[in-house]
Homo-oligomer: A and B are copies of this chain.
Amino acid sequence: MVTLAEVARHAGVSASTVSYVLSGKRTISTPTRERVERSIRELGYHPNAGARALASSKSNIIALMMPLRTDMYLPVMMEIAIAVATTAREHAHDVLLLTGQEGPEAARRVVGSGLADAMILMDVELEDQRLPLVRVTPRPAVLIGLPSDTTGLTCVDLDFAATGRRCVDHLAELGHREIAVVGEAAAVYERRTGFAERTVRGVRERAEELGTRVLHRPCDGSYESVAGTLARIFDERPGTTGIVVQNEAAIEPLLSLLRQQGRAVPEDVSVMAVCPEQVAAGTSVPLTSVAIPAQEMGRLAVELVMARADAGAGRDQAAVPPRIELLPPTLTVRGSTGPAPTPR
């Protein structure tokens, strides 16, 4: 392995000069800089990450914790992870992938050892185990998701309450008076992961204001479960004309079942979803939907965490106060929603 000292010798300068060329923290004359840069290229030099981390006490690594739960929709997680990794590279950082296996200990270990100098936490629960750690650690952290107590925390998420309201607005405008929400798996609510609840709360809230009736049913993604849920919905509320789905896995089965039952979309039933754009556009009936902006969330999380990291390095970290960043929902109308059928 080529070392900085060898580069210095090759370029006929001191080690410090090479270091300053690399970091740009001191002005170096153009001829010197160019000479050093040439030596670096010719020797194929790569600064040693460990030595760097040791000397500067910054690892240039962001830890990304994503507890994997089988009932969470993986593509969204994945998209966020990819966005995080990509954005991190733009800030000259790499991403360390932590799963939930180790529990909250993982965060302690990674931060305690100086392996990572910032953290992004996904799949946040309302009373998340990792919060005490996050509140205490000096390293910047950003949550993707919203716990119940957010004091002192920086969070990024889709504004699911607004999303719920937006869905009701849309259906109500089209004249629907009875709507059903096909939600996430029951386990998601029990675990009290905030987002699912927030959506339903948003739906209920606006529905009350507008005098719309709402029926909410959790539903896991299996065909059987969707069939059961749908049957119960039309059983309890035969007048239902609008359905909001917040469970990507349930979408195709739902559309397929409606077809089988002879209920046309959108003539008899309007269906809308809360899901990634790609999913909404690719279904058998392109779906009116509120997008889950996975990429933006990942990107924003990194930007926020880096801002805090830089501030911590520079002046006071209070310069970048904690904040809650709720992305406004974007509704895209596609073919699956239409005017409510006139009751006969």
Contact = CB atoms under 8 A, between A and B. Distances in A.
Interface of A: 1, 44, 46-54, 57, 59, 61, 64, 68, 70, 74-75, 77-79, 81-82, 85-86, 89, 94-99, 101-102, 108-110, 112-115, 221-223, 249, 252-253, 255-256, 259-260, 278, 282-284
B114 A49 contact: yes
Contact of A59 (B50, B108, B222, B278): B50
For the complex of A and B, list the 8 residue pairs with the smallest distance between their C-beta atoms, beginning with the closest.
A50-B53, A46-B112, A50-B54, A223-B284, A49-B115, A252-B252, A49-B113, A256-B256
A283 B256 CA distance: 12
A35 to B, nearest CB: 21
A85 B205 CA distance: 42
Contacts of A221: 282
Given A78-B74, A253-B252, A256-B252, A89 B113 contact: no
A74 B256 CA distance: 23
Chain A at the B interface: SS class: helix
B89 A102 contact: yes
Contacts of A253: 252, 284
Given A50-B53, A54-B51, A77-B78, A99 B113 contact: no
A52 B46 CA distance: 19
Nearest to A109: B46
B98 A94 contact: yes
A186 B209 CA distance: 50
B59 A82 contact: no
B78 A101 contact: no
A54 B48 contact: yes
A334 to B, nearest CB: 13
